[in-house]
Homo-oligomer: A and B are copies of this chain.
Amino acid sequence: MTSIHDVAEATGVSTATVSRALRGLPNVSPRTRELVRAAATQLGYVPSPSASGLSGGRHHAVAIVIPSTARWFYVTVVEGVDSVLRRENYDTFLVILAATATDRERLFNNALLRKRADAVIALGIDFTAEERRELRTVGMPAIVVGSPVRGVRSVGIDDLAAGKLAMDHLLALGHRRIGHLGGETEWGMDHSVGQDRSQAWRSALRNVGIEPEPHWYALGGFLMPPAKAAALEMLASEQRPTAIFAGSDEMAFGAMLAAAELGLRVPEDLSVIGIDDHDWSESFGLTTVKQDPRDQGRVAARSVVDELSGAEEVTDRVTTAAVTLVVRRSTAPPAGQSEPDGRTSTRPPG
């Protein structure tokens, strides 16, 4: 395990100079720097993060915490985060965090956050006031991906607006009986994402004078299987909706699968729209409100890296990521109305 001493010896300079040279600090003669660099690569030297972390206080690692690996959004953000972190030579700690209080407590009392990572990127977590205070105290850069959290930087879409975009599309098509597949809210998790999207559904309906019926709303937990089950029930009802707005594409897939199982054609008998633009949505022919989680991950990572590099308070407190409507084959005017254009209606892919 070659150490900084070996490089110093090989070069004939002090370890201090080696350290400076390798980290690109000023006040090192070009010649010396080159010599040191050459020796380092020649010897296959890499600095020990433990040692530099201990002495310098920077660990060159950031923790990314997600509630589960089961949702496309989370793992896709992780991929984005990882890509910039790797390029910047940071290592990535992955923390999969259940919603339980003990799990979260452990996280915050853990060495990981206190003495191991230089920053945290949290997904779908709603920090408590105390947690925020802790972060502040330790002076640890933190950013949330998802809906804004008071006092913490964040990047994410405007869920209300995204929901409105989806609903406007459905309403413009002529739908009035519109169902919704929403997410559940666990304590301290994902607080507003699901709520805001559901709220958008409710408001949009009321804005056109429709009071949403209870059985038009069901919980899909942001996962496909429970969403399918919920949709099955919703679609079995007497006055079933002519369209479903799902709070995520994965839940929308569930709706499409449910429709297929009931012999309902999409979009002839049922329109379906989601939010995300999941990697599979195009194959499903799903109309959706597209967001770019990979990019949000990159932005978040860039943000903490910049802050760690000393850039003074670079980013905005809350960065709003763009959304766009992507119309595919899962939405059309409700039965009885003529189609507005020549789109061919295919069989339901679900």
| Interface residues, chain A, with chain B CB atoms under 8 Å away | 1, 44, 46-51, 53-54, 59, 61, 64, 68-70, 75-76, 78-79, 82-83, 86, 91-96, 109-112, 114-116, 223-225, 228, 253-254, 257, 260-261, 263, 279-280, 282-284, 346-350
Contacts and interface: CB of A to CB of B under 8 A. Distances in A.
Copy total for this chain: 2
Contacts of A280: 224-225, 253
A69 B79 contact: yes
21 contacts: A1-B115, A44-B109, A46-B114, A48-B54, A49-B111, A49-B115, A50-B59, A64-B94, A69-B76, A69-B79, A78-B94, A78-B96, A91-B111, A93-B93, A93-B94, A94-B94, A224-B283, A225-B282, A260-B260, A261-B346, A263-B347
B70 A91 contact: no
A70 B61 CA distance: 23
B46 A115 contact: yes
A283 B254 contact: yes
B93 A91 contact: yes
10 tightest Cβ-Cβ pairs between the two chains A and B: A94-B94, A50-B53, A69-B75, A50-B54, A50-B50, A46-B111, A48-B115, A69-B79, A225-B283, A82-B96
Contacts of A76: 69
Contact of A91 (B53, B116, B253): B116
A64 B82 CA distance: 13
A47 B111 contact: yes
Contacts of A110: 46
B114 A1 contact: yes
A219 to B, nearest CB: 16
Contact of A116 (B50, B109, B115, B279): B50
A76 to B, nearest CB: 7
A78 B111 CA distance: 21
B50 A109 contact: no
